[in-house]
Structure 1
Amino acid sequence: MIIHACRRDRRKPMEIIVTGKSMDVGDALRTHVTDMIGAMAEKYFERAQNASVVFTMENGRVTTDCHIHLPTGLFMTATNTGHEPYPAFDQALEKLDKQLRRYKRRLRSHHGARREKVTSFSANYHVIDSNSDEASEPEGFDPLIVADMEMQVQEFTVGEAVMQLELSHKPAMMFRNAGHGGLNMIYRRDDGHIGWVDPSNGSNS
């Protein structure tokens, strides 16, 4: 179900998609989600965003996945699991709020400076089975691909890419470097720092 939330007349409606997997999401919960996300977005941003919230019931527990997409192309995610949907959502939203407080100045600067959306291109994304036993190892040690998907590779400055990695909680991210157009990779190191791989600076020898 899609809900358009507009808390001020001067703003464009914010599209919020609320869905449930293996559970029904009633009107009261939808209204709670809409009001809370709308209030948080209004607190930090001047332009409307899109958001999606998915409630999943599994083994008697509810997992809430929240995604907020900013107009410039950045996105934020937070997940929380609990016994009841309301606390699970509220705690996931609290995680988003902490991220916004941490990056408030940088997000607002990025929000105001970049008037065009982040560009992206499609790339093939393969999932490789890492649990195959020795008896089932294919000849030639070719990896066993268990899923083929598509992903979007976005164009960022290095600073934008680092901020996106932090906001998305991903372990690693590939992006097109806005400075020279080449593909780069950033990832979380075991020491807590973020590594940056830039093949354009390497040697061909």
Structure 2
Amino acid sequence: MHISVAGKQIDLSDALKHRVSAHLDRISEKYFGQAMEARVTFSRARSFFTCDINLHATRGLTLRGEGEAADAHSAFDDAAEHIARRLRRYHRKATNHGHMKTRQQVPEFGRSYVLRPGMATLATVEEDSPPDEEDAALGTAGPYATIIAERPAEIPTLSVSEAVMRLDLADSQIQLFRNSGTDTVNVLYRRPDGNIGWLDPSIRASN
């Protein structure tokens, strides 16, 4: 597994880098056989250190952990423990996911866009200004949303429980996936109350 260990405006000892690599290698071998890559970033904020771990275990499965402490070693321990807790929660599913063969299907891709809200007001909008083709296609015509970044995004086919696992392991706010049970695109997201919301367009409201 390729492991990148870096510090933001701080120097890291060889002993710390070796410890990080050895620990992540053990996690990879235990749960996934062999993970793809990991990025570990240390930084310092006032009187404490922070550590951010991003571990790409298999295609589409990412684990993320954040930690902070008075020293870099303890910050890594804190971040690694966050990952370990999630892996213990999903021990069987994560292990099976790491060792199973890729589903025999053509991957589905979309595009992920980053939009910046416009600063114009209604009074400054020129009604006779035609939108360009890209804005018209995306429904972002006008000064209220500007595309500042875009990249390909894979839409995995998962069960709801698999999607919940990915959302939790990656510590992300949203998970877009194609529901393997209904063959529709679903969304999981974190609610302000701490629970997980699930959007499923295949379920129609009763009149």
The answer on 1:63 being equivalent to 2:65 is no
Q: Does the 8 Å CA contact 2:112/2:151 hold for their aligned counterparts?
A: yes
* Counterpart in the other structure of 2:23: 36
* Counterpart in the other structure of 1:168: 170
1:116 aligns to what SS in structure 2?
coil
Query: Structure 1 residues 190 and 46 mapped into 2: Cα distance closer, same or farther (>3 Å)?
Result: same
Alpha-carbon distance between aligned partners in 1 of 2:69 and 2:115, rounded to the nearest angstrom: 29
Amino acid at match of 2:189: Y
The answer on 1:115 being equivalent to 2:115 is no
Query: Structure 1 residues 54 and 149 mapped into 2: Cα distance closer, same or farther (>3 Å)?
Result: farther
Query: Structure 1 residues 120 and 16 mapped into 2: Cα distance closer, same or farther (>3 Å)?
Result: farther
Instruction: Name the structure, 1 or 2, with higher relative contact order (CA <8 Å, separation 6+).
Output: 2
* Counterpart in the other structure of 1:138: 121
Q: State the Cα distance separating 1:191 from its structure 2 match.
A: 4.5
1:165 aligns to what SS in structure 2?
helix
The higher radius of gyration belongs to 2
* Counterpart in the other structure of 1:159: 161
* Counterpart in the other structure of 1:4: none
Alpha-carbon distance between aligned partners in 1 of 2:61 and 2:70, rounded to the nearest angstrom: 31
Query: Structure 1 residues 16 and 58 mapped into 2: Cα distance closer, same or farther (>3 Å)?
Result: same
- Runs of 5+ consecutive residues of structure 2 not aligned to the other structure: 126-141
Query: Structure 1 residues 58 and 190 mapped into 2: Cα distance closer, same or farther (>3 Å)?
Result: closer
- Runs of 5+ consecutive residues of structure 1 not aligned to the other structure: 1-13
TM normalised by structure 1 equals 0.74
Query: Structure 1 residues 86 and 122 mapped into 2: Cα distance closer, same or farther (>3 Å)?
Result: farther
* Counterpart in the other structure of 2:113: 125
> Which of 38, 59, 63 lines up with 1:76 in the alignment?
63
Query: Structure 1 residues 31 and 176 mapped into 2: Cα distance closer, same or farther (>3 Å)?
Result: same
* Counterpart in the other structure of 2:199: 197
**Size of the alignment, in residue pairs?**
184
Q: State the Cα distance separating 1:84 from its structure 2 match.
A: 1.7
Q: CA RMSD in A?
A: 2.8
Alpha-carbon distance between aligned partners in 1 of 2:147 and 2:121, rounded to the nearest angstrom: 13
> Which of 39, 48, 53 lines up with 1:52 in the alignment?
39
Q: Does the 8 Å CA contact 1:69/1:76 hold for their aligned counterparts?
A: yes
* Residues 138-187 of structure 1: CA deviation (Å, up to 9, x unaligned): 32695354843436243131222111111112222222334455432111
TM normalised by structure 2 equals 0.74
